[in-house]
Amino acid sequence: MNGLKNEYIFKVKGMRCASCVGKVEDFIIKIPGIESVNVNLPAEKVGVRSALNFDVDLKNKIFAAVVESGYTPEDIVTKNSNIQKTLIQNIFTNDFLKLITSAVLSFPLLLPMFGVHISGITQLLLATPIQFLIGFEFYKSSYYAIKTKYLNMDVLVAIGTSAAYFLSLYLLFSNTSGHFYFESSAVVITLVLLGKFLEKRAKLKTLKALESLESLKPSRALVFNSKTQNFEDRSTEMIFQDDIVMVRPSERIPVDGIIIEGQAQVDESFLTGESLPVFKSIDHKVLCGSLNTDGILKIKVTAATQDATLLHQIIQSVESAQMTKAPIQKMVDQISRIFVPAVLLIALLTFLGWYFYSSNFELSLMNAVSVLVIACPCALGLATPTTMMVGTGLAAQRGILIKDMESFELVHKIKTIAFDKTGTLTQGKPQVISTIFDSELSVSDADSKLKLKIDILKKAASLQKNIHHPLALAVVEHFEKMKNNLLELYPVSELKSIPGLGVEGIIENERWILGSKKLLESYQVNWQDDNQFILKNQDFGISSTAYLARVSTTLGIVKVSVECIFLFQDQLKPQSLIAINKLKSLSIKPVLITGDNRKTAALICEQLGIKDFFAEVLPHDKMKYVKQLKIDAQGSIIAMVGDGVNDALALTTADVGIAMGSGTDVAMHSAGITLLSGDPLAIIDAIELSKKTSDKIKQSLFWAFIYNVLGVPLAAFGILNPILAGGAMALSSVSVVLNALSLKLK
């Protein structure tokens, strides 16, 4: 089974319109244990959620329900699949051959319109295989539609073309007329097939985003064999957790993992949308699908299988999002379900009205046939899902992962966005912004003073080198920026980490400690000035401090001297200010919700131009503030942007939850939209893309509705004959799909 244990996605062949969608959904939802069913008409896929884990028995019940509804279910083969290639092969075999055969047989039937005589028997011989062999699929679908009382567009085609065909057959053998309507039945079927062919060909382009993501997964890789002590070529399906993989220049990385040897510039544009490669070296994480532009990398695998990689999760999430329905699509589905019965009624009234008016059976029947043919609701059923597929595909290419369509539809309607601070607007990792050295250690000349400072920083970095706490990493990074490249760290003995306080160790026969104020107080350090300088600088957003001290013992007396004080601050992301300004230009109000102290929160808001903020908020209280924002908004759309476990409840409470891809899995699973790059500017991209997609949906629905609103009366009043009606119906579906594809041109 694909997807989650309680989610199953499979293909269904034969669906043509929104009525088909409704029928499949209704038949499956009746199965005990099924919670929800979503049908993606353009992709011919069905997503089913169950309260129980899927097993063979439940799958068989689902497939049986689909067959009973008149359609053909199929499993999706994901291994080594090429979506576009498979669809193209299908088009240019079955569909194309049917279309060409139907067109060749139909063409002679049009010649009488140009004064060329063709006998009635010849017309019968040409039209019969089109009607009953090539057009058999319409009869088959209509049979199941009538049997299950879910009428679809095929019922309209079957009834309309059959009426024209059998009327012509009657006229041929009754010798009452020299004019026949075989060309109407044959050409309408040909035009319907042409419309489906062009529609399916156009829909190929909506799947290119997924196909391009699939193509990023290498099929083979060089894997270290511990027995031979060499790297061997192996299928990526045979790579396991903790294996060592070697990636050469210009090769794509086949796994998610950690670099254990080598360095290189890695192109992660598929994930972040950033065109410039990122430098990666030892201990850096790399992702499947990234391109190694230079250097040789040895990578330890962290994702046990290809299905566990972030790339695979992205592909699954995009597919899952395309299976869910936007609220506007649910409304369209309801309209489409009553549309076909309404059209049948209009066609009947058209026949009766014309017959009462003219007493001409042939004319009355042809006008009724025109109503049936032109009213096929293909365009109506395709308008929303096709556009959403294009929109979510474009979003994936830009590093915006859409988890559900409702969030995507609502994003451009947002009026207030609540931001978490750490990791969302700030980089999420503290940096050393200043160091205070003991004045007693300072010397007169600048060179000696600099060397002394670097040596003190070297001792601090030596203590922190193997400690993975964010503050420790910041100290090491600060030293790396100042040191001479040839300067190595001191060896540290008796290194001891003291949880929540700091570290201590022996450097050159002296004991050094580095940590919080509480750690130094445990050595009974006397704070004469109570660190007034540090307290003063809290106004400048200092979030943390750390103290490096030398511990000496003379005649049993322990002396602790503070050599350096580190001041830390979580820096703003470079794009945060631009993002906030753009949001305000779109009349979207930004709000900050943070657990930091009020002074730090006020500083951040001042730097970003945010007027409203809530500070010192406990993790479980963030949800309450989001609820209050929703109450204050009086129905306006509220979004929450966060990246941590403590943001999960707030993300689910907001109308739209947006998670940073650089954050925790819990946050990403709680949000409807994930910004894989962690760039706040991607919020603007999501809003703009949502707006463009929404506009395209409205355009497509307008044309689909106006086509039927105008077309049906024209046919009913005898202005359109069946052939023109069939051509208009075919082109309407194609126009809707092409309108959706035009999203890519903006």
| pLDDT digit string, tens, across residues 397-415 | 788 888 777 788 888 899 9
Predicted confidence band at 79 (pLDDT cuts at 50, 70, 90)? Answer: very low
Between these two residues, 537 and 594, which has the higher pLDDT value? 594
Structure tokens belonging to residue 553 = 């013992």
- Residue where a domain stops, chosen among 526, 555, 571: 571
Mean pLDDT of 631-650: 81
Q: What is the CATH number of the domain that holds 229?
A: 2.70.150.10
Q: What is the 3-state secondary structure (H, E, C) of 110-137?
A: HHHHHCCCCCHHHHHHHHHHHHHHHCHH
Kindly state whether residues 567 and 629 are assigned to the same domain: no
Question: 17 lies in which domain range?
Answer: 7-83
Q: Is residue 238 part of a domain?
A: yes
Predicted confidence band at 59 (pLDDT cuts at 50, 70, 90)? Answer: confident
Highest-pLDDT range among 300-304, 552-556, 689-693:
689-693
Question: Is residue 421 classed as helix, strand or coil in its secondary structure?
Answer: coil
Q: Give how far the C-alpha of residue 424 lies from the chain's centroid of Cα atoms, to the nearest Å.
A: 20
> Is the predicted pLDDT of residue 530 greater than 60, yes or no?
no
Q: Is residue 59 part of a domain?
A: yes
Kindly state whether residues 490 and 552 are assigned to the same domain: yes
Question: H-type helices in 182-264, by residue range?
Answer: 182-203, 208-214
Question: Is residue 100 classed as helix, strand or coil in its secondary structure?
Answer: helix
Q: Is residue 44 part of a domain?
A: yes
Kindly state whether residues 227 and 238 are assigned to the same domain: yes
- Residue where a domain stops, chosen among 671, 700, 735: 671
Kindly state whether residues 633 and 657 are assigned to the same domain: yes
Question: Could you report the per-residue pLDDT of 504-520, keeping only the tens digit for each?
Answer: 999 988 999 998 877 88
> pLDDT value at position 37?
86
* 41-55, 130-144, 222-236, 614-628, range with the lowest pLDDT: 41-55
Kindly state whether residues 508 and 615 are assigned to the same domain: no
Backbone dihedral angles phi then psi of residue 578, each to the nearest 5 degrees: -65, -45
Length of the chain: 746
> pLDDT value at position 141?
82
Mean pLDDT of 182-194: 78
> pLDDT value at position 216?
74
> pLDDT value at position 269?
65
In order, the DSSP letters of 75-88 are: ----TT--HHHHHH
Which positions are annotated as active-site residues? 420
> pLDDT value at position 128?
94
Structure tokens belonging to residue 13 = 């062949």
> pLDDT value at position 617?
82
> Is the predicted pLDDT of residue 307 greater than 70, yes or no?
no
> pLDDT value at position 415?
92
Parallel, antiparallel, or unpaired: how do β-strands 637-642 and 414-419 relate? Answer: parallel
Percent of the chain with pLDDT over 70: 78
Kindly state whether residues 546 and 625 are assigned to the same domain: no
Q: What is the CATH number of the domain that holds 642?
A: 3.40.50.1000
Question: Could you report the per-residue pLDDT of 18-44, keeping only the tens digit for each?
Answer: 677 888 888 888 888 888 888 877 677
> Is the predicted pLDDT of residue 540 greater than 60, yes or no?
no
Kindly state whether residues 566 and 603 are assigned to the same domain: no
Q: Is residue 184 part of a domain?
A: no
Q: How many helices (H) and strands (E) does the chain have?
A: 26, 27
Question: Is residue 291 classed as helix, strand or coil in its secondary structure?
Answer: strand
> Is the predicted pLDDT of residue 529 greater than 50, yes or no?
no
Q: Is residue 718 part of a domain?
A: no
Mean pLDDT, all residues of the chain: 78
Predicted confidence band at 581 (pLDDT cuts at 50, 70, 90)? Answer: very high
Q: Is residue 539 part of a domain?
A: yes
Query: Into how many domains does the chain fold?
Result: 4
> Is the predicted pLDDT of residue 105 greater than 80, yes or no?
yes
Tell me how far apart the alpha carbons of residues 722 and 542 are, in angstroms, rounded to a whole number: 77
HSE, CB side, 13 Å, CA atoms: give it for residue 294. Answer: 4
Between these two residues, 316 and 293, which has the higher pLDDT value? 293
Name the residue type at position 317.
Answer: S
Kindly state whether residues 562 and 591 are assigned to the same domain: no
Please tell me the pTM assigned to this model: 0.61
Parallel, antiparallel, or unpaired: how do β-strands 544-554 and 510-515 relate? Answer: antiparallel
Highest-pLDDT range among 40-44, 126-130, 212-216, 626-630:
126-130
The residue among 392, 359, 369 whose CA lies nearest residue 43 is: 392
Kindly state whether residues 586 and 566 are assigned to the same domain: no
Tell me how far apart the alpha carbons of residues 534 and 562 are, in angstroms, rounded to a whole number: 14
In order, the DSSP letters of 450-471 are: HHHHHHHHHHHHHHHTT--SHH
Highest-pLDDT range among 509-513, 724-728, 732-736:
509-513
Mean pLDDT of 157-166: 80
Q: What is the CATH number of the domain that holds 56?
A: 3.30.70.100
- Residue where a domain stops, chosen among 571, 597, 624: 571
Residue for token digits 């290194």?
Answer: 495
Question: Is residue 671 classed as helix, strand or coil in its secondary structure?
Answer: coil
Tell me how far apart the alpha carbons of residues 421 and 428 are, in angstroms, rounded to a whole number: 8
Tell me how far apart the alpha carbons of residues 409 and 404 are, in angstroms, rounded to a whole number: 9
> pLDDT value at position 653?
83
Q: What is the CATH number of the domain that holds 441?
A: 3.40.1110.10
Contact 451, 444 (CB under 8 A): no
> Is the predicted pLDDT of residue 17 greater than 80, yes or no?
no
Question: Is residue 491 classed as helix, strand or coil in its secondary structure?
Answer: coil
In order, the DSSP letters of 305-336 are: SGGGSHHHHHHHHHHHHHHS--HHHHHHHHHH
Kindly state whether residues 33 and 64 are assigned to the same domain: yes
Kindly state whether residues 505 and 549 are assigned to the same domain: yes
> pLDDT value at position 481?
79
> pLDDT value at position 3?
44
> Is the predicted pLDDT of residue 334 greater than 70, yes or no?
no
User: Residue 574 region, left (φ>0) first, then alpha (ψ -120 to 50), else beta?
Assistant: alpha
* 271-275, 355-359, 362-366, 605-609, range with the lowest pLDDT: 271-275
Angle between helices 327-358 and 682-716 (to 10 degrees): 10
Predicted confidence band at 111 (pLDDT cuts at 50, 70, 90)? Answer: confident
Element of type H or E holding 561:
strand 557-572
Between these two residues, 640 and 146, which has the higher pLDDT value? 640
Backbone dihedral angles phi then psi of residue 301, each to the nearest 5 degrees: -70, 130
Kindly state whether residues 639 and 544 are assigned to the same domain: no
Q: Is residue 460 part of a domain?
A: yes
> Is the predicted pLDDT of residue 707 greater than 70, yes or no?
yes
Query: Which residues make Cβ contacts (< 8 Å) with residue 287, sequence separation at least 6?
Result: 253, 256, 268, 271, 309, 310, 311
Question: Could you report the per-residue pLDDT of 661-689, keeping only the tens digit for each?
Answer: 766 565 566 678 888 878 899 999 999 99
Q: Is residue 333 part of a domain?
A: no
> Is the predicted pLDDT of residue 272 greater than 70, yes or no?
no
